[in-house]
Amino acid sequence: MTNQFKTIILCGLFLLAVGAFSASAETDIFSQKVEPLTTLDCARCHEQVFTDLRDRGGAHKMVCRDCHEQFHTFKRDLSWEQRVPACASCHGEPHGSEADMIDCLDCHSNAHAPVDSLNLELLEPLCARCHAEPTQQMQQPSAHSELGCNECHQQQHGSLPKCTECHEEPHSPFESNAGCMQCHPVHNVSIMLYSETIPNNACAGCHSQPAQQLKQGHLAHALLNCTFCHADEHGNTPSCQDCHDTPHSPEMLQDFAGCNDCHGNPHDLLPGA
Ligand code: HEC
Ligand code: HEC
Ligand code: HEC
Ligand code: HEC
Ligand code: HEC
Ligand code: HEC
Ligand code: HEC
Ligand code: HEC
Ligand code: HEC
Ligand code: HEC
Ligand code: HEC
Ligand code: HEC
């Protein structure tokens, strides 16, 4: 036999075998095991659910059957609640059992994107329930207290605005919120707070003269923070004696109006005084 002829015969036998095999698969269909649908199989029909889980599902990005143990139970008398899993079956009532906290889907409007789909409008009257402290601060009268929470926390629950979105040209060298909030607690801007560690250039924007003088000074005060002397609250001014007590005899001082007569200026002490 030529090689060519052998190949033709082998191919023929192969085709016969394949035919016989598929014929037996056809007849034995009910003896085979039905494989459960995979998440990808579900996705072929429920594509939107799949993409929601994939792109915005957060911690719910799990396989379908973890939650849907049963589905497609198309019996007419079943209610929707009987067809789909209940949030509470896995979570209980995490925010308490008061009436406005138990209709999970009111706020978590998409079960397949439970955090991303939080409905801000419905949330607005309820911020206080979970965020008591900022709410209390906002109730103090201040330039911010007329603003609703969502005017700053826009778009999504938990989003944080930048001060500079509304205050375009701030007076401070700091551009970050953390910088601004060293002096302005955002939920009550009527008070001004600053810590001892705030750097001198934070004050320099408005008090250029003392800052300049202090920087150029050669004596011990030049090493101090503004807030070491002007502590706690904006505008506080110490007296020399707060720190130095009485370094000189009363006789020596009696003809002078004050310490600055000889020492110049606290921001720029005169050498040799
Ligand atoms: C061949 C297409 C197809 C596949 C595959 C499919 N579904 Fe469905 N599914 C449907 C249709 C059609 C409905 C009814 C839609 C309607 O009523 O709007 C439905 C409804 C549902 C519902 C609504 C509640 C219910 O049970 O009636 C759930 C939940 C569901 N499917 C889950 C799944 C899961 C989980 C998978 C994969 C394990 C899956 N489906 C695979 C077509 C499919
Ligand atoms: C973390 C649990 C969870 C996972 C994972 C999950 N589901 Fe759901 N699904 C739910 C809940 C809860 C509901 C009921 C929402 C409601 O009552 O409107 C639901 C509703 C549905 C519905 C009907 C309402 C709708 O949004 O269309 C379909 C269809 C569905 N799921 C399909 C799927 C498919 C397909 C997958 C996997 C790709 C999946 N689910 C994964 C919890 C889950
Ligand atoms: C079958 C169980 C199951 C069901 C049903 C279920 N969840 Fe979850 N959910 C989980 C698991 C597991 C996690 C991740 C671990 C955790 O945070 O407990 C989770 C996490 C969450 C989170 C945090 C998500 C994140 O990204 O941080 C929210 C919010 C949530 N679920 C809301 C819901 C809501 C609302 C429903 C009903 C529409 C629901 N869940 C139904 C199992 C479930
Ligand atoms: C009034 C609106 C609202 C209602 C109603 C609501 N939630 Fe929430 N839920 C939220 C908000 C807002 C968060 C915070 C989300 C975040 O972490 O950014 C949250 C967080 C969660 C979390 C994750 C963090 C945690 O506290 O464990 C789970 C789980 C959750 N909710 C489940 C539920 C379930 C289950 C129900 C119904 C019994 C429900 N929620 C009802 C608004 C709501
Ligand atoms: C059901 C409870 C609940 C409600 C209602 C709620 N929140 Fe939240 N919120 C949370 C939880 C839980 C977190 C996550 C805390 C964390 O991650 O430390 C959070 C986080 C935040 C954060 C981000 C905090 C950070 O440091 O990143 C902001 C801002 C916020 N919520 C504002 C709001 C506003 C504004 C409202 C009303 C429109 C609101 N929340 C309603 C529970 C809630
Ligand atoms: C003038 C704008 C503005 C308003 C109005 C506002 N916030 Fe804020 N909020 C901010 C800024 C800015 C931050 C901090 C951002 C950062 O740390 O970078 C913040 C932080 C938060 C945080 C997280 C840190 C914390 O203090 O716990 C929560 C929660 C919060 N706000 C809730 C609320 C609530 C509730 C309301 C309404 C009662 C509200 N905010 C009103 C601007 C605002
Ligand atoms: C959504 C816009 C918005 C954001 C974000 C915002 N503010 Fe304001 N702020 C206002 C409005 C409106 C006023 C009142 C009118 C004015 O003075 O421009 C105001 C006023 C102020 C005042 C003046 C207080 C007074 O008593 O005169 C200070 C200080 C201030 N904001 C600081 C901040 C700081 C710091 C941040 C960031 C942590 C911030 N703001 C974020 C809108 C905003
Ligand atoms: C070192 C402390 C300090 C820092 C940091 C600071 N501020 Fe101020 N801010 C002040 C003081 C003090 C005043 C009051 C000035 C006055 O009475 O004229 C003020 C006033 C304001 C005012 C109202 C008056 C005006 O200028 O319109 C706004 C708005 C403001 N600051 C926003 C900001 C923002 C935004 C940031 C961050 C970019 C910031 N501040 C950083 C101390 C500070
Ligand atoms: C936004 C501009 C601004 C910033 C930033 C600022 N101040 Fe002032 N400061 C003022 C204004 C305006 C006054 C005068 C009006 C008043 O008394 O409130 C003042 C007053 C003072 C006074 C009182 C002066 C007197 O004559 O009694 C001291 C002390 C002072 N500031 C120190 C500081 C220090 C320290 C810092 C930095 C931590 C700082 N300031 C940041 C604007 C600012
Ligand atoms: C060693 C302590 C000390 C340090 C450090 C200091 N100051 Fe003063 N400052 C004083 C005293 C004391 C006065 C009271 C006025 C006087 O006795 O001349 C004063 C007065 C002021 C005044 C009001 C009078 C004026 O000169 O305008 C301002 C504003 C001021 N300081 C800002 C600052 C700033 C900004 C810094 C940092 C760059 C700073 N001070 C650092 C002690 C200090
Ligand atoms: C908040 C505290 C504080 C205040 C207020 C203060 N000083 Fe001082 N002063 C210091 C410190 C700290 C030093 C350096 C360490 C030391 O010598 O005690 C110093 C050092 C000095 C020195 C020595 C300088 C050198 O380099 O030898 C003189 C002089 C002086 N202070 C004068 C004054 C006068 C005058 C005033 C008031 C206008 C004043 N101080 C206010 C904290 C302060
Ligand atoms: C008549 C001028 C004069 C007056 C007024 C004066 N000082 Fe002095 N002071 C001096 C001289 C000169 C020295 C340098 C002495 C030396 O080096 O021993 C000095 C040194 C100091 C020192 C640093 C030396 C030390 O004691 O450690 C301090 C701090 C000081 N003075 C604080 C003050 C204070 C506070 C006042 C106001 C109550 C004041 N002085 C008023 C002239 C004066």
- Residue 114 near residue 60, CB atoms below 8 Å: yes
Q: What is the pLDDT of residue 216?
A: 87
Chain position carrying tokens 């896995």: 90
Q: In the predicted model, is pLDDT for residue 27 greater than 90?
A: no
Name every protein residue with a CB atom under 6 angstroms from any ligand 2 atom: 39, 42-43, 46, 49-50, 53, 60, 62, 64, 66-68, 84-85, 87, 105, 111-112
Give mean pLDDT, residues 50-75. Answer: 94
User: Which of 165, 190, 188 has its CA nearest to residue 176?
Assistant: 165
Closest ligand 7 atom number to CA of residue 177: 38
> Ligand 9 centroid vs 207 CA: distance in angstroms?
7
Residue 265 near residue 209 (C-beta atoms within 8 A): no
The pLDDT of 112-137, averaged and rounded, is 93
Ligand 7 atom closest to residue 165's alpha carbon, by position in its atom list: 5
Tokens of 158: 């938990």
For residue 79, give Cα distances in angstroms to 66, 74, 75, 195, 261: 21, 10, 9, 60, 90
115-130 mean pLDDT:
91
Q: Looking at residue 195, what is its pLDDT?
A: 79
What does the CA dihedral 65, 67, 69, 73 come to, rounded to 10 degrees?
Answer: -100
Q: Is the model's pLDDT at 172 over the cut of 70? A: no
Rounded average pLDDT over 228-250: 90
Q: How confident is the model at residue 4 (pLDDT cuts 50, 70, 90)?
A: low
Task: Using alpha carbons, select from 272, 263, 173 the residue that is nearest to residue 213.
Answer: 263
Residues 254-260 have a mean pLDDT of 90
| Dist CA 241 CA 247 (whole Å) | 9
